[in-house]
């Protein structure tokens, strides 16, 4: 080895920060000799020209997947961040991924959902007509703030949950990880928009309940991704989707209407992924009967928690006040809550059925609200 780089430090005990290989390469560079091995590497994907199926939309993930390496393997042998279909060194380190089987994370609609999510992003700062907020009677403002507090509390679970599992998913299934990143962003925005609503109209943040936190903890600490995904995407977000859908009963002005509508679109994508992931999981699990039995056990326990959520006075009463336009109209509001109950149950059972997970005859969620 000859000259050390002028930038070299003294940290590795040899008077330089560079390894012998690096120093040799630097030496060659100084003599004007380049390595150029990267120009001689195999080029298994050379000459690919992904075509836009639809120029109006742009170059989509589906387009590039149609062109090259678009179909993930069921069980990729490596645990690397190297892009699917690339050439990589044999000694790449093992990233320690725990989810290396396609059925553990995949959904057949996930590629389209990622593109859809990117196309339908919005800003809680810019796209909500905050100047349309008007002072509300105290009971309506309190009710709106109680619900906004609840939603500020629960929405971020759908950012924390995917964040917990993302790094454990093999990067071979990058589309799933990308979609979950959009979900994390969606939910950050939902936290943002409901916190802003609580603090923007003369009210404030209100009460959070231990029972809600217990359910959130169950999701966050679910021992496997499929268990947490079912609890969150299918059950929890399905329920919240119906609350968002009922937002036009809850909204007292254009500001709130827009909040609920935009959140509804986001939430529906997450539920859609969760439903199709459950379907893929059950259809491709190597021990399907065992997996099905485990999921039924989980669903049974989780369903027992739903009535508690929907008979909690801090949840249903502010909803009823908003839907009935005041405490005096709560009876009318409770009618709407009963409607939401039936719809939530029906849509949940429909989604399970679509996933090949028939809960209709065994579900623990009562058919009608008990009030």
Residues of this chain that interact with another protein (CB under 8 A) are 54, 56-57, 112, 116, 119-120, 241, 245-249, 251, 257, 261-262, 264-265, 267-269, 271-272, 275-276, 336, 339, 347, 350-351, 353-354
**Shorter beta-carbon distance to another protein: residue 166 or 352:** 352
**Minimum distance from residue 351 beta carbon to another protein (Å):** 5
**Minimum distance from residue 31 beta carbon to another protein (Å):** 55
**Per residue in 110-121, is it b (16+ CB within 10 Å) or e — as a string?**
bbbbbbbbeeee
**Minimum distance from residue 77 beta carbon to another protein (Å):** 33
**Shorter beta-carbon distance to another protein: residue 11 or 56:** 56
**Minimum distance from residue 32 beta carbon to another protein (Å):** 51
**Minimum distance from residue 120 beta carbon to another protein (Å):** 4
**Minimum distance from residue 360 beta carbon to another protein (Å):** 12
**Shorter beta-carbon distance to another protein: residue 113 or 216:** 113
User: Which of 218, 226, 219 lies closest to 288, judged by CA?
Assistant: 226
Structural contact between residues 236 and 215, judged by C-beta atoms closer than 8 angstroms: yes
**Minimum distance from residue 324 beta carbon to another protein (Å):** 14
**Shorter beta-carbon distance to another protein: residue 197 or 245:** 245
Structural contact between residues 194 and 259, judged by C-beta atoms closer than 8 angstroms: yes
Structural contact between residues 144 and 256, judged by C-beta atoms closer than 8 angstroms: yes
**Shorter beta-carbon distance to another protein: residue 78 or 116:** 116
**Shorter beta-carbon distance to another protein: residue 216 or 352:** 352
**Shorter beta-carbon distance to another protein: residue 116 or 317:** 116
């Amino acid at each position: 080895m000859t000259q050390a780089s002028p930038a070299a430090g003294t940290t590795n005990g040899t008077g330089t920060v560079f390894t012998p290989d690096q120093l040799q390469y630097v030496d060659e560079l100084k003599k004007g000799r380049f390595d150029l091995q990267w120009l001689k590497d195999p080029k298994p994907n050379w000459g690919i020209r992904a075509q836009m199926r639809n120029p109006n939309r742009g170059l989509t993930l589906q387009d590039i997947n149609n062109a090259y390496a678009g179909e993930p393997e069921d069980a990729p042998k490596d645990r690397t961040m190297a892009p699917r279909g690339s050439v990589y060194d044999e000694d790449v380190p093992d990233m320690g991924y725990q989810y290396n089987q396609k059925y553990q994370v995949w959904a057949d609609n996930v590629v389209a959902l990622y593109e859809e999510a990117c196309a339908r992003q919005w800003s809680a700062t810019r796209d909500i007509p905050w100047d349309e907020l008007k002072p509300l009677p105290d009971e309506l403002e309190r009710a709106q703030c109680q619900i906004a507090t609840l939603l500020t509390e629960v929405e971020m679970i759908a950012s924390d949950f995917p964040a917990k599992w993302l790094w454990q998913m093999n990067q071979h299934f990058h589309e799933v990880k990308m979609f979950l990143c959009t979900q994390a962003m969606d939910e950050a925005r939902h936290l943002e928009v409901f916190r802003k609503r609580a603090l923007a109209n003369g009210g404030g943040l209100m009460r959070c309940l231990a029972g809600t936190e217990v359910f959130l903890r169950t999701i966050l600490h679910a021992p496997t991704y499929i268990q947490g995904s079912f609890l969150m995407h299918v059950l929890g977000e399905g329920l919240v989707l119906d609350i968002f859908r009922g937002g036009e009963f809850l909204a007292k002005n254009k500001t709130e209407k827009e909040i609920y509508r935009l959140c509804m679109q986001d939430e529906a994508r997450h539920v859609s992924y969760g439903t199709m992931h459950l379907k893929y999981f059950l259809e491709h699990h190597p021990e399907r009967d065992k997996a099905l039995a485990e999921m039924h056990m989980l669903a049974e326990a989780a369903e027992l928690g739903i009535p508690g959520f929907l008979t909690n006075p801090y949840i249903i009463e502010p909803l009823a006040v908003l839907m009935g336009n005041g405490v005096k109209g709560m009876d009318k509001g409770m009618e709407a809550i009963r409607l939401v109950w039936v719809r939530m149950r029906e849509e949940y059972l429909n989604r399970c059925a679509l996933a090949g997970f028939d809960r209709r005859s065994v579900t623990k969620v009562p058919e009608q609200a008990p009030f």
